[in-house]
Amino acid sequence: MNEIQTLTAPARIGDNSDGAAIEIEVRLFNSLAGYLKGRRTACRVSLPAGSCVGDILSMFQIPKSEVFLIMRNGRDLTPELGSTVRTDYRPQDGDVIALSGPVPYSWGYGAPVV
């Protein structure tokens, strides 16, 4: 695998974890890949304990409206078709969080699901 760059999110005010952090891998696919700004398709991210997927979106400046799929370790966090993505999930240390925009000919682009 290619070398993965490590990023660190700023600490959140009011978090009682006293500097505890988790390290996860974030992978961006399809229309979201451009938010890595020249980095490879994945990067390591250090987050304050208690952070959620919404904090990852903020870190990369990704609008929630552009995210159609969020996976944790290969499993869809929002398995209901057409429901809003789950940004409240709190990743655990070592998780791989994959984010994807819509895929052509998918429900995200308005295609009927057969």
Using one digit for the tens of pLDDT, what is the confidence trace for 24-57?
999 998 889 888 877 677 889 999 888 999 999 9
Contacts for 15-19 with beta carbons within 8 Å, 24 or more apart? 15/48, 15/49, 15/50, 17/48, 17/49, 17/50, 19/48
pLDDT in tens, 61-102: 999 989 888 999 999 887 666 667 888 899 999 999 999 987
| Higher-scoring residue by pLDDT: 12, 66 | 66
Query: Which pLDDT score, from 0 to 100, does residue 1 have?
Result: 41
For the domain that residue 37 is a member of, what is the CATH number? 3.10.20.30
- As for how many domains the chain has, the answer is 1
Query: Which pLDDT score, from 0 to 100, does residue 2 have?
Result: 45
Flag whether pLDDT at 22 surpasses 50. yes
CA distance 20 to 50: 9
Query: Which pLDDT score, from 0 to 100, does residue 28 have?
Result: 92
Element (H, E) at 57: helix 53-59
pLDDT in tens, 101-110: 877 665 555 5
Query: Which pLDDT score, from 0 to 100, does residue 25 have?
Result: 95
User: φ and ψ at 100, to 5 degrees?
Assistant: -140, 145
CA distance 18 to 99: 29
Range of the domain at 100: 5-107
> Would 114 be classed as within a structural domain?
no
Query: Which pLDDT score, from 0 to 100, does residue 12 have?
Result: 53
> Would 113 be classed as within a structural domain?
no
